[in-house]
Structure 1
Amino acid sequence: MTKKVLFCATVDFHFKAFHLPYMEWFKEQGWEVHVAASGNMELPYVDKKYNLLIQRSPFHTANMKAYKELKAVIDHNKYNLIHCHTPMGGVIARLAARQARKKGTAVIYTAHGFHFCKGAPFVNWLLYYPIEKILARYTDCLITINQEDYQLATKRFKAKHIEHVHGVGIDTDKFKPVNEKEKIQLKKSFGYQPNDFLLFYAAEFNKNKNQQLLIKSLALIKDKIPQTKLLLAGKGPLLEKCRELAADLEISHMVDFLGYRNDLHQIVPMCDVAVASSFREGLPVNIMEAMACGLPVVASSNRGHIELIQDSENGYIVPANEYQTFSFRLLEIYRSKELYSKMSMEGKRRAQIFSLNEVKKELNNIYLRYAAEEINESKGKYNCTYI
């Protein structure tokens, strides 16, 4: 009988962005691949797709209907393995799979950054921590992607297995450095001058991502580095407020709002420094991609950024909302070619740890427990080829 795996998340775009390589692997192994999430996006490597109206808010009444529908899907299909992602995708899937686990279905949950963490609002601990603690009991393997979450989970949660994986994997064949000539050509192709000092950040415009910090920091160096351009990719509810802030600070000509982009593999290598201003991160892909392209990084202090950036080595970590310090660090990098070169090289080196090939190996070791065709129980080893 063909084995079946179900991937579950809040929205289907999550899979297109992060998990297609792992769906492809299951297909190559002869598994039937199903997906349950909100959305009508067509995804490769998927045999069946269930559009469930899962909502991000834990209080939304639609989630009760999504739970019932997902439970019916799980009970009908008798999956060998369920891998769930995102907070609400993880909650609903693990609740819906309780009976299936008793019949042999294994449940894996990847926490892409707990909402409760050092410095998080108390309400986050009050709401999300008890939920994750309870649901850990219904989790065969809890995967964390940063050390802070891993340490917390191993001390406080009762999942059968708790693992640390270096994120979702970045494509270092796609995101890679370019030489100076190629960088100039890329800048020109996007309408920039060869000597423009390009800062880049890709993120949704929301309260957590805090792009206002970057705009305020830019205003402080507008006279010192007038050729600076801040490139902000993404959409979101606070986009217009950021436009207004740039206008109020008289730097609209220095801030380019790029909207949603699917050509980041061309934009990132032409930039000079990656910046990041969020209050909370799990392990941000945008920073890993920038590091792989050789960009030094200046970022706000949070667990995800600290995991990626060693202060003064491949970039700088700046306390949250200290835009004066943020601007000073940008000036330091701009003024020292030696510092820039050192940070660039170190960033490229560190990025390899988070490459798609390395993360595939790490996930393979986890999937082996549940997906291996042959298990050598006498030696306690799992026989399977790496993804």
Structure 2
Amino acid sequence: MKKVLFAASVYSHFASFHKPFMKMFQQKGYEVHAVGSNSRNRKDELLDIGVICHDVDFDRMPFSKKNMRAVKKLNELFSHHYFNLIHVHTPTAAFLTRYAASKHNQGKILYTAHGFHFFNGASRKNWLLFYPAEKLAKRWTDGLLVMNEEDISLGKRLGFKENHNMFHVHGVGVNLKEFHDKQGELIDIKNELGLISENVIISCIAELSPRKNQLFLLKNWNTIVDQCPNAHLLIIGYGDDMEKIKAFIEENWIMNVHLLGYRKDIPSIITASDIVTLVSKHEGLPRCLMEAMAAAKPIITTNVRGSRDLVDNGNCGLVVDLGDNEGLIQSFVRLIEDKQLRINFGRLGHQRIQDYSLGNVLNEMEEIYSRYV
């Protein structure tokens, strides 16, 4: 039986983004395998759809002893299995898997860059560490998939050629059917939080981490609420910055903020929202903004790659430069106070997101995969 392998640092990456593509291979008769760490307990979601999982504990820091053990496990895996195609994700897991596979005469290898760690504005450390690593790994990479304009330029700099061994895809796709109007669920979320119909809900859905930059919004939130007391901010997600964010909210008496943690009802929350925001320091192509556009919600986001690829400033949302506190405040006040503008932005965003539908991306990926298997 033909086999395909997906590799990433954690199984939750596949559970969140790649199950449709795994199912596509299964429907074509492939045996689908995955390697990753079970740090967020979503391995069962892969096992439930018949994916064969091989636990490999990667470390984000490339030179850790944990990654030496990871290479040993990968060597064992490749000694016992031949994969017709290997599709790798996340920088460290992608590098180590490509390296190990190259020593064992495996099939073709594809790498999806969900946002290179070296980019315009990245630290010198990131450029010194990740750019040479990707330059080296090019020799083990048959095809590169990128999701935004800046990464196309970086891929060319690495030596890939567009539409030859580098392909621009519309992210991981968004299921438009999940975001039909759900007025009943809108009432439920407001009831859950003790809000009234006049409240304006702003949702920020992201891992709680320095990269996602929630503190940029929180530092300005009280000023926004002073001008728009009916605004309520929902912070959805988990991560290493959870306690730091909780402490900041408490110590600074930040008003009208609700920390919801991990939620499985994201489509319902987005549908219940009036505005969706993401204030990251850098992105690849953020899924939460695609989902907001699928639900016809206006967006406020930062002027970083990926986010600006999706959001046309003044068209389907507002784009703010990193660190522009006044611009951030003005953008929120403008949208909170102008319901018709929110409706107009949402309608235009919904039109714009059609190319990013899951069905369209599945077709794109099927065409790319067919080049290699």
TM-score under structure 1 length normalisation: 0.90
Q: Does the 8 Å CA contact 1:300/1:321 hold for their aligned counterparts?
A: no
Measure the CA separation in 1 of the matches of 2:17 and 2:185.
28
Secondary structure class of the residue paired with 1:97: helix
Corresponding position: 1:226 with 2:225: no
Cα deviation, residue 196, structure 1: 0.8
Runs (5+) with no aligned partner, structure 1: 372-387
2:82 counterpart residue number: 78
Secondary structure class of the residue paired with 1:303: coil
Corresponding position: 1:107 with 2:109: yes
Measure the CA separation in 2 of the matches of 1:249 and 1:322.
20
Corresponding position: 1:244 with 2:283: no
2:299 counterpart residue number: 297
Runs of 4+ residues deviating >6 angstroms: none
Cα deviation, residue 226, structure 1: 0.7
Cα deviation, residue 158, structure 1: 4.2
1:376 counterpart residue number: none
Measure the CA separation in 2 of the matches of 1:117 and 1:176.
36
2:199 counterpart residue number: 196
Call closer, same or farther: CA 1:226–1:208 in 2, change over 3 Å. same
1:25 counterpart residue number: 24
Q: Does the 8 Å CA contact 2:134/2:158 hold for their aligned counterparts?
A: no
1:98 counterpart residue number: 102
Q: Does the 8 Å CA contact 1:27/1:45 hold for their aligned counterparts?
A: no
1:312 counterpart residue number: 314
2:332 counterpart residue number: 330
Corresponding position: 1:164 with 2:193: no
Measure the CA separation in 1 of the matches of 2:69 and 2:115.
26
Measure the CA separation in 1 of the matches of 2:186 and 2:262.
22
Measure the CA separation in 2 of the matches of 1:303 and 1:285.
13
Secondary structure class of the residue paired with 2:14: helix
Call closer, same or farther: CA 1:63–1:46 in 2, change over 3 Å. farther
Letter in 1 for 2:334: E
Q: 2:122 aligns with which of 98, 120, 125?
A: 120
2:149 counterpart residue number: 147
Secondary structure class of the residue paired with 1:169: coil
Measure the CA separation in 1 of the matches of 2:226 and 2:52.
56
1:187 counterpart residue number: 190
| Aligned residues between the structures | 366
Measure the CA separation in 1 of the matches of 2:226 and 2:136.
54
Cα deviation, residue 177, structure 1: 3.8
1:213 counterpart residue number: 216
1:346 counterpart residue number: 348
Secondary structure class of the residue paired with 2:259: strand
Letter in 2 for 1:68: K
CA offset digits 1:312-348 (Å, max 9, x no partner): 0011110102222111011111222332221010111
Measure the CA separation in 2 of the matches of 1:301 and 1:239.
24
RMSD: 1.7
CA offset digits 1:32-81 (Å, max 9, x no partner): 11111112622133342110111111121111111121122123211111
Call closer, same or farther: CA 1:223–1:7 in 2, change over 3 Å. same
State the identity %: 36
Runs (5+) with no aligned partner, structure 2: none
Letter in 2 for 1:163: F
Q: Does the 8 Å CA contact 2:144/2:160 hold for their aligned counterparts?
A: no
Cα deviation, residue 351, structure 1: 1.7
CA offset digits 1:136-184 (Å, max 9, x no partner): 11101111111110122023324771111111111111133445x7634
Measure the CA separation in 2 of the matches of 1:188 and 1:47.
39
Moved more, 270-279 or 238-247: 238-247
CA offset digits 1:225-258 (Å, max 9, x no partner): 1111110011222222222322343224x00000
Measure the CA separation in 2 of the matches of 1:178 and 1:318.
30
Measure the CA separation in 2 of the matches of 1:299 and 1:164.
22
Measure the CA separation in 1 of the matches of 2:180 and 2:96.
38
Letter in 1 for 2:208: F
Measure the CA separation in 2 of the matches of 1:323 and 1:128.
31
Identify which of structures 1 and 2 has the higher relative contact order when contacts are C-alpha pairs closer than 8 Å and 6+ apart: 2
Measure the CA separation in 2 of the matches of 1:212 and 1:104.
45
1:52 counterpart residue number: 56
Q: Does the 8 Å CA contact 1:222/1:251 hold for their aligned counterparts?
A: no
CA offset digits 1:67-102 (Å, max 9, x no partner): 1211221232111111111111101110011134xx
